[in-house]
Chains A and B, each alone.
Chain A
């Protein structure tokens, strides 16, 4: 992005009415490896790509259980994400202790957003460099929210964040109108397909991705590697058999790829900087 005299402090406005430090924080989210979320009437599925620093190390945890009915997938500074997950867990436990009922998802994301906002208005703090996809179930149904370092939050039918997320977003944009009535299996399949889009050519294996589900009568849990690999095998075989269906995702991937190249100089900057910012995954 641009270096200028208004970007040193988070408490300094630019003449155009922007807070550059907050925008830089949002850039950190784009550098992280992809996380996606989608929801139906009864289920929410979260997925993420596991990128390890080197072959020797393990990958960082990007999906956290917050409560039986809420889970979160993060992208950006995973340390900030871990701390915020701990905060969310604590809020859920306290609410449950006081009211003997689960914390509504909408309430949690507001608290999270307010917490993020504080960091945009204190000169001795910095914004959290992590984007959170909060998926959960409450009395009003299944919800998926995106919490931004700026303190804004939005509800989504489906969303993707992190590097090469545009490919996943394009895939989901074509299909999201059907998600509301999707079955649990179809929703997970779409999540895996969306994750595959962000890999852009690399084979999808259960060792490089994580999938988590929460739904009616199903507490939030991360699917184990075996289950995920079985699901991948099921739909990849299906993809090869159906000729036109196989062609469609290919063209979608190409178009997504083209759009990504043209628009997202940030993504290209990300690949160049991969060795430079070790705290970002």
Chain B
């Protein structure tokens, strides 16, 4: 009897792209709103962005059922944190929690490619980028998802953070202003939409700064 392979997969890829850019005192997190399966579109209006805490926002592409489950887990853990510490969780703390949560399912992973964006304890913008099993790093900018291969080299060209191998370690946040960063993000998605079939419809942009959370939308090509 030859070895049988699985005739179904527990995972599906719903496509989409996420980007986050950290500024001196702000953070921009953006994702498109298209949800697809195979070559079909499931909906043009699905948010991949989730506010985990006052100063911490997560955008995730991949398998949205796993993403939803992950978001619920983190929200529940955040409630426990608030009861125990009497305050909201900080972005670096949530970053570690997300990593641990992902690695907890190392042998049946959340099919979720995450970017975490927010303000750190000093009020500076921070972005953390993850793989599906929790390996993470603090960076100045990142993108994940189907359009990331198109967007990342462009961001490198525009925002290249100093190499992490250079000592002393340099600040990775961009000197761009908030509006310049938002424009850059819009440019990224407009370009990615042209060539990535899974990216398009609408762009959701969330900006976190000391005033709070601001959300805006931009139309993208629908083909």
Chain A residues close to B by CB (< 8 Å)? 65, 86, 89-90, 93-94, 96-97
Contacts and interface: CB of A to CB of B under 8 A. Distances in A.
Contact of B83 (A65, A94, A96, A97): A65
B79 interface: yes
Nearest to A94: B76
A184 B79 CA distance: 27
Contacts of A93: 76, 79-80
Contacts of B72: 97
Contacts of B76: 93-94, 96-97
A96 B76 CA distance: 9
Interface of B: 72, 76, 79-80, 83
**Most chain A C-beta atoms within 10 Å of own C-beta, residue among B72, B76, B83:** B83
Given A89-B79, A90-B80, A96-B76, 10 more contacts: A65-B83, A86-B83, A89-B80, A89-B83, A93-B76, A93-B79, A93-B80, A94-B76, A97-B72, A97-B76
B interface, by DSSP: helix, strand, loop or mixed? helix
Contacts of B79: 89, 93
A90 B80 CA distance: 8
Nearest to B75: A97
A97 B69 CA distance: 10
A86 B83 CA distance: 9
Which 10 A-B residue pairings sit nearest by Cβ, starting from the closest?
A93-B76, A97-B76, A93-B79, A89-B83, A97-B72, A93-B80, A65-B83, A89-B80, A96-B76, A89-B79
13 contacts: A65-B83, A86-B83, A89-B79, A89-B80, A89-B83, A90-B80, A93-B76, A93-B79, A93-B80, A94-B76, A96-B76, A97-B72, A97-B76
A188 B80 CA distance: 29
A75 B72 CA distance: 34
A90 B83 CA distance: 10
Contacts of A89: 79-80, 83
Contacts of A65: 83
B68 to A, nearest CB: 11
Contacts of B83: 65, 86, 89
Contacts of A86: 83
Nearest to A64: B83
Contacts of A94: 76
Contacts of A96: 76
Contacts of A97: 72, 76
Nearest to A67: B79
A45 B149 CA distance: 56
A32 to B, nearest CB: 22
B52 to A, nearest CB: 15
B162 to A, nearest CB: 42
**Most chain A C-beta atoms within 10 Å of own C-beta, residue among B76, B79, B80:** B79
A94 B79 CA distance: 11
B79 to A, nearest CB: 5
A86 B80 CA distance: 9
A97 B79 CA distance: 11
A96 B75 CA distance: 10
A168 B157 CA distance: 71
A90 B79 CA distance: 9
A20 B79 CA distance: 39
B201 to A, nearest CB: 26
A263 to B, nearest CB: 39
**Most chain B C-beta atoms within 10 Å of own C-beta, residue among A65, A90, A93, A94:** A93
A261 to B, nearest CB: 41
A89 B72 CA distance: 16
Nearest to B73: A97
A134 to B, nearest CB: 16
B194 to A, nearest CB: 38
Nearest to A89: B83
Nearest to B77: A93
Nearest to B72: A97
A96 B80 CA distance: 13
A179 to B, nearest CB: 29
Contacts of A90: 80
Nearest to B82: A65
A92 to B, nearest CB: 8
A65 B87 CA distance: 13
A79 to B, nearest CB: 16
Nearest to A68: B79
Contacts of B80: 89-90, 93
A65 B83 CA distance: 8
